[in-house]
Structure 1
């Protein structure tokens, strides 16, 4: 016969009861995490509300001005429609050249002077040589510095399409006889190393970009562009120039714009007046110009 078990019950006095209540409260509070110790996981829905980086904002805004422009949709003679990367790169490089007109830095003023001065000498200056074609296209050349640089880039866009179909990485013309390191042409505008003697501003520009390759805008000019394998002619400084001309398209562009003012006969399509001047491209560049004039902070973002 089993003996019945009596249950036992712990009876707490008032002092012990108060102790256990305080201990329980302490333990519960200690389990609450400190907000500063909370780490959001990669899957968190919390979004970073900080504004886009200063440098990307203005560049993206200028590129956006090209997207729906008639210049981007234009079909060039024997070349077709320009690569979007080329039009965007030209717009940004124009913006940088335009900003040179607005700077007070002596190193940039001298380059801006060559780009914007009107010599009136058709033997060396492509704008003077092309003045009648500008008039026929509904654009008149003036002595206004801003308009001169815009007209220069309008012609430059046409030249780049003629020389390379807007491809930054174009190598030398394999059918041409100029195959030495100093005479072989390369890049968007097919310019050669021996052109450096045309103006002291060319060497200044070359050194400027070599010291700051982040200014090359390669990521813009190269977007969705397929490059053919092309060799570099020769060795030494001339070969280095060819390689840099292809890898730094913003340099190649500003360099060619100076060349158009000081030695236009370097470019066959200019001499034969095959490079087109298209009014819609001038209008697109004008919208870029207006944008910069309304906010000169854009010049800082263009790494001038």
Structure 2
């Protein structure tokens, strides 16, 4: 009888713990977010030494992998957001604007398809995006404006964040503005704690004032936004990025492999994964 009472007490304690976890929005097991972070942190992509940059900060690889998962979830979302349509479109063939078209031969050499819409297009642009962030900032989410470009310009022209985007780029599409507003309304989705791992931020000032200055600050404090914004911008105006114009951003197969593994996690249980990550 005492043994039965003990079993019932243990079961009640476990149930109470589970109910508390559910009510607080936490999980009693490893979250999908943690699975992706662990996968990224042990990947060959993380161990790769980028040309003239060395190894990426752990937080950069983990953060971009999570942003990739979120972008995949956008495609799977009922009533797909227009920004997801931009990301998932097959190469437009327009080499002056679309980074997928401009990098077609390099993607081909890496065994990456860019002529199919959907997950493959998102996979390709994120694989290139990994290399872009390493060229622009060495994977530092808090990178400030480019001193070599000088300070005699407006705040709207000043770049910031891991991918060095600027406020004036938002004029290219209303979807970029919508993405900006989406993250401004949901700062908890910014992923700052993830991107911080392995990064030391110096004294990164803001150039100018006004809306452009606000964008610079937000780009650095909300790296998940900076990532999805840059991936979308790569499809709309690849010439915004110097390393893309010069084809300095590397397309690393190991990073493509990492993203394929992330995609498998999403596809194994899309509804549950996306409810957590999206």
Please confirm whether the aligned pair reaches a TM-score higher than 0.5, indicating the same fold: yes
Q: Tell me which protein shows more helix as a share of its residues.
A: 2
1:236 maps onto 2:210 in alignment: yes
User: Is 2:129 aligned against 1:161?
Assistant: no
TM-score using structure 2 length: 0.88
Separation of aligned partners in 1, 2:15 and 2:207:
50
Runs of 4+ more than 6 Å apart: 46-49
Match of 1:280 in 2: 254
CA deviation vs aligned residue, 1:173-215 (integer Å, no higher than 9, x gap): 1121364211011000011110011111100000000000000
RMSD (Å), alpha carbons: 1.9
CA distance in 1, matches of 2:88, 2:266: 17
Deviation per CA, 1:15-38, whole angstroms, max 9, x where unpaired? Answer: xxxxxxxxxxxxxxxxxxxxxxxx
Asked if 1:206 is matched to 2:180, the reply is yes
**Deviation per residue, 1:226-284 (Å, 9 max, x gap):** 10111101111010000000000000000001100001000000000000000110110
Corresponding residue to 1:261 among 222, 235, 238: 235
**Whole-angstrom distance in 2 between the partners of 1:56 and 1:92:** 15
| Counterpart pick for 2:99 among 120, 126, 131 | 126
1:225 paired residue number: 199
Count of residues in correspondence between the two structures: 257
Unaligned stretches of 5+ residues in structure 1:
1-45
Residue 240 of structure 1 aligns to a residue whose secondary structure is helix
In the alignment, does 2:81 pair up with 1:109? yes
Distance 2:17 2:198 in 1: 30
Q: TM-score, normalised by structure 1?
A: 0.81
- Larger Cα Rg: Structure 1 or Structure 2? 1
Give matches, 1:1-304, under 5 Å. Answer: 50=17, 53-54=26-27, 57-104=31-78, 106=79, 108-118=80-90, 119-177=92-150, 179-296=153-270, 297-302=272-277, 304=278
